[in-house]
Structure 1
Amino acid sequence: MSKHRFAVHGAVVAAMALLSLLVPLTGAHAAPPADSCTQNWSISSGQGYANGKWCNYDTKVVGTVHDTKADGRCPYVRGGLSNGGYVDSDWAGGKGKSRAITLHAPSGTRFTSLSMRSIGC
């Protein structure tokens, strides 16, 4: 074998090694998979209402909570979990105010119910 073939082979090996280092880095920046949000939900109480969608096999809830009453109470959504726990959303405060909400179920759980709650604000 000639020295030229060794040089070409070495360059190819070096290029492949560099490529193997770069591919995982670029893969880490790939876009996350799109949410699968298939069913609508809507709830209300004396302080306001909320609506949105169930997503990703009930492991995510998205929507908006609205405050409809000037009563010093601010509505929020509570998501009941399959393990008996819950996750609370941010609250909307002041009559006429709204807030976008996103609830994520912890790993190994899913949402089984939604309820409307309020907090003094």
Structure 2
Amino acid sequence: MRFRWKDYRHGDRQKVMTVSADEFIRRFLLHVLPDGFHRIRYYGFLGNRYRAQKLAHCRDLLGMPVPEPSESQAPKDYRDCYEELTGRSLRQCPACRQGQMITIETFDGISGPTSYWDTS
């Protein structure tokens, strides 16, 4: 199956792609929402790109003061949100519920275990 598409990365040029019918249907269904869902898209000053700069410009045009960051607007740590929702702290030891959990080592998830020389 062949279909036309617009390549926005290369000057909005029209291109033709050939894929199997199964692959076309799979790609098409990625854009279909399940029943009960509504697609929400933001345009203009609420669009994702340069949102902060555009909102600041709107405030300037309206003569509004710059909002002061408050402690209530500060982003919460995921551990605090979890404790509010469940009543259990992720900072406490799950076994004794007395000691504090501390980070000893962080893994990046990309590299595997540290390599070592096998001396056997």
- TM-score class, shorter-chain normalisation, is under 0.3
| Higher normalized helix content (fraction of residues) | 2
TM-score normalised by length of structure 1: 0.19
Higher relative contact order (CA 8 A, sep 6+): 1
Between Structure 1 and Structure 2, the one with more strand by share is: 1
**TM-score normalised by L of structure 2:** 0.19
